[in-house]
Amino acid sequence: MVKQDRKLNATILFAGEQGDRRWDPLNSYLKRKGAHIICTYSSRETYDMLKKTPVNIIIADYDHSDIKALAFLRKAKRIKTHIELIFLSEKASLSKAIEAMREGAYDFYEFPANTRLILAVIEKAIEKQTLSIEKTELEQKVKDKFDSGKIIGRSRAMQHVLDIVGSISAKNVAVLLTGETGSGKEIIAKAIHYNSPRSAQPFIGINCAALSEGVLESELFGHEKGSFTGAVSRRIGRFELADGGTVFLDEVGDLPSSMQVKLLRVLQEKSFERVGGNDQIKVDVRVIAATHRNLYQLIDEGKFRKDLFYRLNVVHIELPPLRDRKDDIPRLVSSFIEKFNDEKDYGIKGVSREAMQILLNYKWPGNVRELENAIESAMALSTTEVIESKYLPSFLLVTKPQDIDFYQISQNLTLQELEEEIISQTLAKTGGNKTKAAKLLGISVRTLQRKVKNK
């Protein structure tokens, strides 16, 4: 069976001297392989062509009378970021090749060109280019996903959070995120990272509560080969992997005391040693920490270091629970339906009015994460294009009274007595916190204070 050559699906631009016949064999060979060939004879003509034509590879004469090779290379890459450039030279030297490749050239060869070799190099360059473009597109999608302007949060409480995110993302300060489990702390952490100057660098997360103390130290700071039983090779830790980017320490309130000391040292000195190592490893990372626990209480109990708290708590963002931002539930539901339709092609178009009312009435102790799981479950069970109440998880259909937000109101109350009762029950729900109570009631703190005083 005769092996069929693979077609070279690429546009290649030759930048050479007009009338130079040295290019002809390579030009003809690449055309036969399926490449689309463009020839230009000056730097200006090349730049104009790059601006209006999708070009994969430039093959250029390093000694071209109208091209200052390295300046030409830099400008070509400014016009088309992912373009790859191969230089050919009749006076090739190692110093020329090194200098060109330091500036971003893909490769450097001597005339006369070996056509088969150049074809192989072009194929590798196109493969690299494709991966680079895919990586850039993926990074842009991730950045778009975590654009603070696209995070669902129309409620006043979430708008306040997103205002802070917009203010501090570009500032290289530590951030402490607090809030109940499932309230979206990791999403906010990623929004801060992907809207910061560090967005092109890694975002590395770790759950501090999920690992034992010994494993956690190795995960954070890495270890050297032979530093403990089972350490068969060197391991790079999360802080080292995140150099230039962001480390997200989830559930930082569960850090063991010894690890708190080590983390504090890293934050102060911006360096650490791998487990079993002696070399100081310098890193430049932004730390975003998160916890559902009350760190003030842990400090009072001697379970969390006050000095570490101050290092982490440069900017504090408290995420509201879902029950305090119910205005966002319909938009969150639509977002989850779109997400799971894309992932699993369910074809669900929405939620019935009755089902939405059930979703709005529930308190959501598991917050946004619990809502997302409920929607995924309902979509998997639904046999109709619109999710009906019968497809919702059973815990929503047999909800206990204490899981529903409503007021226990006595009968035959006057309007003033009804207002007093609602204010009293709201204050009881918020533990006497007038700021939270005012938010729930949709009035100002001053108005609430006046009504309580006149009670």
298-310 in b/e burial notation, b at 16+ Cβ within 10 A? beeeebbbeebbe
Average pLDDT of 45-56? 90
Rounded Cα distance between 369 and 357, Å, is 19
Q: Which pLDDT does position 181 carry in this prediction?
A: 93
Contacts 24+ apart (CB under 8 A), 447-451: 448/423, 451/419, 451/423
Bridge partners of 451, per DSSP, are none
The pLDDT tens digits for 241-267 are 999 999 999 999 999 999 999 999 999
CA distances from 209 to 123, 255, 259, 285, 291 (A): 47, 7, 12, 21, 10
1 domain residue, yes or no: no
> Are residues 328 and 316 located together in one domain of the fold?
no
- Are residues 230 and 366 located together in one domain of the fold? no
Q: Is residue 410 part of a domain?
A: no
**Domain contains 6:** no
Q: What share of the chain in percent tops pLDDT 90?
A: 47
Calpha distance 148→133 (Å, rounded): 24
Q: Please tell me the pTM assigned to this model.
A: 0.64
Q: How is residue 305 written in tokens?
A: 């270091």
Query: Which pLDDT tens digit goes with each residue over 278-297?
Result: 889 999 999 999 999 999 99
Judge whether 370 lies within some domain: yes
* Nearest-angstrom CA–CA distance, 406 and 360: 11
Tell me the per-residue pLDDT of 307-352, one tens digit each, with 9 for 90 and over: 999 999 999 999 999 999 988 999 999 999 999 999 999 999 999 9
- Give the pLDDT of residue 5: 59
HSE-up (13 A, CA, CB side) for residue 326 = 18
Tell me the per-residue pLDDT of 366-385, one tens digit each, with 9 for 90 and over.
999 999 999 999 999 999 99
Please give the tally of structural domains in the chain: 4
Cross-strand bridge partners of residue 84: 57
Q: Are residues 199 and 305 in the same domain?
A: yes
Predicted confidence (pLDDT) per residue in 158-202, tens digit: 989 999 999 999 999 999 999 999 999 999 999 999 999 999 899
User: What is the C-alpha separation between 74 and 273, in angstroms, rounded?
Assistant: 39
36 DSSP 8-state letter: E
CATH number for the domain harbouring residue 396: 1.10.8.60
Q: Give the helix/strand (H/E) hosting 39.
A: strand 36-40
Phi-psi region of 11 (alpha: psi -120 to 50; beta: other; left: phi over 0): beta
Domain that holds residue 434: 415-453
Residue 126 is assigned to a structural domain of this protein: yes
Pair (93, 184) in one structural domain: no
Query: What pLDDT is stored for residue 288 in this prediction?
Result: 97
Q: Which one of 320, 348, 369 terminates a domain?
A: 320
Return phi, psi of residue 89, to 5°.
-145, 140
> Residue 444 sits in a domain of what CATH number?
1.10.10
For residues 133 and 153, membership in a common domain is answered with: no
CATH number for the domain including 249? 3.40.50.300
Let me know: does 155 contact 200? Beta carbons within 8 Å: no
Same domain, 162 and 295: yes
How far CA 211 is from CA of 204, 262, 454, in Å, comes to: 16, 16, 54
Who has greater pLDDT, 287 or 132?
Answer: 287
DSSP-derived letter for residue 433 is -
Is residue 409 a part of any domain in this protein?
no
> What mean pLDDT is predicted for residues 108-119?
87
**275 and 155 within one domain:** yes
Task: Answer yes or no: are the C-beta atoms of 195 and 286 closer than 8 Å.
Answer: no
- Residue 158 shares a structural domain with residue 110: no
Worst-scoring range by mean pLDDT, 9-13, 25-29, 396-400? 396-400
